[in-house]
Structure 1
């Protein structure tokens, strides 16, 4: 049998702590032994010190069943324990072998089970006094008002339970830098209370293990790691020891503890909202192997503390929230009524700053900047708003260290080290900002945080100095607390509502003014329309009458020049009369309010063809028509539509070719305003002079002419009237043409109006 070690030797070649594979060291601490077996209880991994504890050589352990190593009865008992308790740490399996009792834990590791056995340090199985421990904790809850004071009592009680020289409660910030917030220690030891430790002391993969494995003990930092062995037949070189009790520790961490003078540790995770909130860290200055059940008592202290974090933090927030709510009530009451000068009233109210405990405030509204309290200059605020608008992408933004996102903020620390930014939405940069000045803070670090890890030819090494290192934190304001941020959101929403109401009020006034102007304009247009209909037609008729008399006088002695001038005058009067009539028709179509009724297009077609019979005969035109549908419409308007379209075909016909007009109808689907709708498509197809198709949209505009007015008479309004008629009928009109080939005019009536 060939036996191999799975010790991870790559650790010596690490370039940074964060890449250290601490969950697969391939070795354990020597105060116990480890076996790993599969579902059939065959042992495939074993620590090299098994023979020291149970006197069985490694060759007889690997690839043998658990029962063959110890006894069938022990294997049966272990299998029953697994079925009953699974891998619950609180229920160890007690192995009695060769008159020695071992406290054993079982943990899953992939397809294996980790079986770790430790002899009882004092030879006895002593369970903790859970009743008294719980009773004390309840007393602590009643006696303490703050989370820190509770942590101090938990630290003292944990030290009393475990007997360690020093017990600290260590709290992480958002970046996982730690601070000792509570401490109980031996009287002759230097205090660590209040010291800060950089996030590099506990790298990400170590924090991840603290989340999975809530308790970690090192009995003696000077231990020699015991390698884990397996046979060459094993296809798994790495064994995941994330949940292991005996897992060997990172050599970098061991050196770190030695540099501190610590000989033994116990670490308990404090979890809050699935995040590593902090640690209960126990130090001893000589080797110390804590019994299993005593460890569980200490772990229970961690559970007690974790259960109170949210409760205590909320209680501390409540006191702040009460003060904030008083100011919030005043502000909301003030913004509940629409006032023209609401911004000025808001800025001058003392509660506008108190509501978030800010020192300054700015409101940008309608391109005007309003400032209150201690703020940067107007120019600086404008620049800041532009930057925050980009950073936040139009969303809410807040920070207590503005310089991290806006380098120019170094110049604003006396007024705006911290900021809350609430945009009011829309396309403008309207927003509200609250400012806080810099609050310099002295931080005591346990050694220089910038030198937490040293690099040398032998590999990584932790810092050796833990002397007090003071740092003055700059460019930061006091943190924005949750009640303050909630109040800021509420006030911003109330202001935004007030702004919108104010805008609506202003728009309502403007709309009333515009409506009044529009009404006057309509009245004036109606007067003009009346003048056009009546007053202008009368003099035009007289001009035409007198011109006709002059031209029809058989005894006139006028010169040819006079006759020619009178003829032109008469023709101009006729054109002007036609133009006036078309303008009147256009205005009547635009304001038509006739109700749409069932209208037979065949009847409309027959009436129009009868009315235009002389022109059709004159042009030798042939008109063919499909059977047309009935639509919802206004009869006289549709007749005007038919007259204009067919009249245009007659007007723009070729002289040398007989005119052909085909009226075709089919049902089509068209997409209108994003919806597919069904229409009757009536097409008027002629073989006239046509025009360039690029003008197909322009011909429906008022006074737009494609052909010369001297060649083809008309006002240029006819097709504009057609367009208005089709809009009144919930349809539309299109044109398609080719010069010297012909024109197609298509009108679309909805099949379901």
Structure 2
């Protein structure tokens, strides 16, 4: 939608749409200065505030379209000299013009508007302002260099935000003379709190008062970042129109950087309802965001010269730098705590094997630094806790919810989970507040801290629940008619997490992430070493090995398998393909299928088809590799060449046949007559031969058993023959 249609023009907003009011297109200025818009390169006047007539004594229409030289003095020369500078931000400008009563010294700024054109804003210089403005306005004295130096020293020595804020309000009040000076700090939700105040003794204190985020619309907050110092001299001023309001291309002048820009009628009425007449607001910007404001209130008109405003802008930069330094000091303290934590966790990992135990062994070391009442670690699908925490189902629900929330800067904080998600109302007693940091970019690993419900009493400047009156007249509209202190007890909330605690949480989370990464890297190295070792062992195995995934796809086959005669290893993709290598493919495939479906191990034998005439006898051992729970990692199939085994068995059978025959031969001696009693010697010879044969066959798995069995057979036969000869000799029937 076009913003011009979606947003109300300046001065036509109601409280329901003031967030979208086009306050940067005000089309008018405050009357304590004049504004000119000059077109380049001729520097002709294309717009002017209507009060230029009173200052210059020349008719407005006589100036439009003419060179800035028509105003006399050295204005044109000073503007041309300033063009060499970067004018994307207002640059100071001192010049003179020919006024109605003679030459007048002016001071102000010059900047280039976002859509083209040079904007010149001028006010009477101080020497002329003493006689001109002081008739109508109280005027602050210029800030001296000595005062600036003294203020910088005070700010630089402030050890905390509280000390700094106190120094700021007193220094600014002393140098500007405003009735009330406050430091107004924003919380993460955009609400403001007055954290420091210096005031006239006759005024009631506003210290500690809270103001709802709606008091300062988002568009105004954006302008506070771009234009760091804003002055309202008199809330009852009559706006001075810019003529013509529209430029030649039909657009209006973007006055975002104009210090004379008129303020919204809603804001003016807001100040009138507070009884405030003059204001000075200085922005405190931290890391590109509006950290807070120095808000000055006066109860009569008050003018601040340009030099004093420039000095305050300088001091605001010093203050913002000091805020950063204080918070960075917190960061340095955080680094000390985190280093100690890291050492403890690393030591625990090396001794216990698990860093998580060290993290939760002493819960105080985890909870106390961030003032938490409970903590939970979500890691590898497990939950470890310390202190008071919700139930496990609630923790898992909270994890799912936090994981879906937009985080900022690597940490998520919430002081009232119930307000953001009413479904978590039951957790208020243990987890009203949550601060969480992610530990992994790819897994739901988080570290969370919790705070119990802590009912708080907030003092608001008026009842924030009653923002509207029954009227759309900007002169009667007001966020609050009454700014009397209004207290509210807030439940379902915990103490807000501070910036320092967020920094510490982020640092702890980053440290844990690094430790987890380090541990995983070590595990990866160990696993890689083990993998290389196992791969080497499997690869060098004398037996063919095939490894398949749980779905049956072959992942690996070793070189021994690839050297099997007739084994096309390169074409095998599944265990089912493996069955096709054998003489009985149907039987092998059926058993491998049973292995996958029923997860039953298989031991069998099959003939491997070769290029020769006879198949190769193969022993098959197929097993399931179990995973966690009921899952499986895959399958392993080990093949063995049974050729030597078959030869050994054949040799053993031949040996047994030979021994049996020897027993028969020795059963009858001397013409086949039967011995009446077993012969002890021949029995011992045959028994010894049987034992030796079994030992040889069992102990020697390669082809070496076959010749040994043959040798044993020959030796046994010779021993039996020698014994027969000896028996014959002893009986007298053999040789003498």
Q: Same fold (TM over 0.5)?
A: yes
Give the C-alpha shift of residue 255 in structure 1.
0.6
- How far residue 253 of structure 1 moved from its aligned partner, in angstroms, is 0.7
Q: Which residue is 1:58 aligned to?
A: 60
- Which of 350, 355, 379 is the equivalent residue of 1:336? 350
Counterpart residue number, 1:25:
26
Structure-to-structure mapping, 1:226-237, within 5 angstroms: 226-230=240-244, 234-237=248-251
Q: How high is the TM-score relative to the length of structure 2? A: 0.64
Structure 2's unaligned 5+ residue stretches are: 1-7, 131-139, 546-556, 588-605, 617-736
Matches within 5 A, 1:50-449: 50-70=52-72, 74-83=75-84, 88-97=90-99, 98-109=102-113, 110-120=115-125, 123=128, 128=142, 130-141=144-155, 143-230=157-244, 234-319=248-333, 322-323=336-337, 325-339=339-353, 346-350=359-363, 351-354=365-368, 357-363=371-377, 369-388=383-402, 398-401=412-415, 402-403=417-418, 406-420=421-435, 433-449=448-464
Which residue in the other structure is 2:12 paired with?
Answer: 12
Task: Give me the whole-angstrom Cα distance separating, in 1, the residues matched to 2:341 and 2:128.
Answer: 64
**Distance of aligned partners of 1:717 and 1:463 in 2 relative to their CA distance in 1, 3 Å threshold:** same
**Alignment partners' CA distance in 1, 2:529 and 2:543:** 22
Find out whether 1:475 has 2:493 as its counterpart.
yes
CA distance 1:31–1:671, shift in 2 (3 Å): farther
Provide closer, same or farther for how the CA distance between residues 420 and 245 of structure 1 changes in structure 2, counting only shifts above 3 A. closer
Distance change >3 Å, CA 10–CA 336, structure 1 → 2: same
Match of 1:659 in 2: none
C-alpha distance in structure 1 between counterparts of 2:427 and 2:284, whole Å:
38
* Distance (whole Å) between structure 2 residues aligned to residue 345 and residue 247 of structure 1: 60
Determine helix, strand or coil for the equivalent of 2:351. Answer: coil
Q: 1:84 to 1:96 in 2, by over 3 A?
A: farther
Rounded to whole Å, the distance in 1 between the matches of 2:443 and 2:337 is 33
Paired position in structure 1 for 2:677:
none
Contact 2:372 2:451 in 1 (8 A): yes
- Report the counterpart of residue 739 of structure 1 in structure 2: none
Structure-2 separation of matches of 1:299 and 1:426: 41
Q: Is the 8 A contact 1:271 1:306 kept in 2?
A: yes
Q: Aligned partners of 1:426 and 1:118: how far apart in 2?
A: 56
Give me the CA root mean square deviation. Answer: 4.7
- Are residues 464 and 364 of structure 1, via their aligned partners in 2, closer, same or farther at CA, if it must alter by over 3 Å? closer
Q: 1:491 aligns with which of 512, 515, 522?
A: 512
* Contact 1:265–1:283 (CA under 8 A) maintained in structure 2: yes
Q: Could you say what secondary structure the match of 1:464 adopts?
A: coil
CA 1:229–1:469 in 2, change beyond 3 Å: closer, same or farther?
A: same
> Quick one: structure 1 residues 404 and 236, their matched pair in 2 at CA, closer, same or farther if it must change by over 3 Å?
same
Q: Aligned residue pairs: how many?
A: 551
Offset of residue 471 of structure 1: 2.9
Could you tell me whether the CA contact under 8 Å between 1:440 and 1:475 is conserved in 2? Answer: yes
**Change in CA separation of 1:259 and 1:251 when aligned onto 2, cut-off 3 Å:** same
Q: Cα offset for 1:134?
A: 3.6
Q: What are the Cα deviations for residues 592-651 of structure 1, in whole angstroms up to 9, with x where unaligned?
A: 6499xxxxxxxxxxxxxxxxxxxxxxxxxxxxxxxxxxxxxx7x946x98xxxxxxxxxx
Kindly report which structure 2 residues correspond to 1:497-646, keeping only aligned pairs within 5 A, or say none: 593=560, 637=565
Q: Is the 8 A contact 1:165 1:284 kept in 2?
A: yes
Q: In structure 1, the residue corresponding to 2:12 is in which secondary structure?
A: helix
8 Å CA contact 2:152, 2:315 repeated in 1: no
CA distance in 2, matches of 1:720, 1:224: 108
1:342 Cα shift?
6.4
Give how far 1:179 is off. Answer: 1.6
Do the aligned partners of 2:190 and 2:213 also contact (CA within 8 Å) in 1? yes
Whole-Å Cα distance in 1 between the matches of residues 237 and 612 of structure 2? 101
Corresponding residue SS for 1:11:
coil
Structure 1 position 262, deviation (Å): 0.8
SS at match of 1:123: helix
Instruction: Please report how far the alpha carbon of residue 384 of structure 1 lies from its aligned counterpart in structure 2 after TM superposition.
Output: 3.4
Structure 1 Cα separation of the partners of residues 502 and 148 of structure 2: 33
Q: 1:230 to 1:347 in 2, by over 3 A?
A: closer
Measure how far apart 1:261 and its partner are: 0.6
Partner of residue 609, structure 1: none
Alpha-carbon offset, residue 152 of structure 1: 1.4
Bigger shift: residues 454-463 or 102-111: 454-463
User: Which SS does the other structure have where 1:279 is aligned?
Assistant: strand
Q: Which residue of 1 aligns with 2:580?
A: 700
Pair 1:355–1:285, CA change in 2 (3 A): closer
Contact 1:211 1:276 in 2 (8 A): yes
Question: Where does the alignment leave 5 or more consecutive residues of structure 1 unmatched?
Answer: 1-7, 526-589, 596-633, 642-669, 674-695, 707-714, 726-753
What is the CA distance between 1:333 and its match in structure 2?
A: 2.5
CA shift in 2, pair 1:418/1:405, >3 Å: same
- State the shift of 1:475 in Å: 2.6
| Aligned ranges 1:673-712 → 2 under 5 Å | 700=580, 702=582, 703-704=584-585
Q: Is the 8 Å Cα contact of residues 421 and 431 (structure 1) preserved in structure 2? A: yes
Deviation at 1:276, TM superposition (A): 1.7
From the superposition, tell whether residues 189 and 335 of structure 1 become closer, same or farther in structure 2 (CA, over 3 Å): same
